[in-house]
Amino acid sequence: MDTIASLLSADHNRCDDLFAEAESAVSDGAWEQAAAAFGQFREALRRHFAAEEETLFPAFEARTGMSQGPTQVMRSEHAQMNGLLAQMQAAVEARNGDAYLGLSETLLMLMRQHNLKEEQILYPMSDQALAGEQDLVASLDQTLHPERP
């Protein structure tokens, strides 16, 4: 039985792997591969954000009454990262490796800090507050992996 923490932490790792693939392709100047890899990364990260913002955060806030706490900080950071993703998409389309790699360095730093806060603070709090909510975990999993039956 998956927990919120195990499911979403594993997805962080999956997103990190996709990020590294895209960055490597850009570094190699393999632009078609870079565009495909970046598209996969961006889609995976957007699904991750959606799982949190549409399912986890509302359930956590309803159960704990905390709507201006950690979930608000995470939403703000998601918005920052989405802005970087848009700029990175433009860099891929322009085949501008320097711009992409500069932006990816910033995104990597933000993702590392963000993921650490979620994995060490928010996810354990969520597992405690939402213990036994297997429908919620199943819904998160479905958002992260819509290709699964």
Q: What is the pLDDT of residue 132?
A: 82
In a domain, 138, yes or no: no
Q: How confident is the model at residue 134 (pLDDT cuts 50, 70, 90)?
A: confident
Question: The dihedral of CA 59, 132, 113, 12: what is its sign?
Answer: negative
Q: What is the pLDDT of residue 12?
A: 97
98 and 121 in contact (C-beta within 8 Å)? Answer: no
- Cβ neighbours, 10 Å, residue 134: 11
pLDDT above 80 (res 149): no
Residue 115 within a domain: yes
* 149 inside domain: no
In a domain, 32, yes or no: yes
Domain holding 101, by residue range, is: 4-131
Domain membership flag for residue 147: no
Q: What is the DSSP string of 14-64?
A: HHHHHHHHHHHHHHHT-HHHHHHHHHHHHHHHHHHHHIIIIIIHHHHHHHH
In a domain, 55, yes or no: yes
Q: Is the pTM of this model over 0.85?
A: yes
Contact criterion met (CB below 8 Å) for 11 and 123: no
CATH number at residue 79: 1.20.120.520
Residues 98-124 have pLDDT tens digits of 999 999 999 999 999 999 999 999 999
| pLDDT value at residue 104 | 97
Predicted confidence band of residue 136 (pLDDT cuts 50, 70, 90): very high
The count of domains in the chain is 1
Which helix (H) or strand (E) segment holds residue 125: the answer is helix 123-129
Within a domain: residue 93?
Answer: yes
Distance, in Å, from the CA atom of 63 to the CA atom of 130, rounded to the nearest integer, reads: 7
Which pLDDT belongs to residue 3?
93
pLDDT, tens only, 23-58: 999 999 999 999 999 999 999 999 999 999 999 999
* 141 inside domain: no
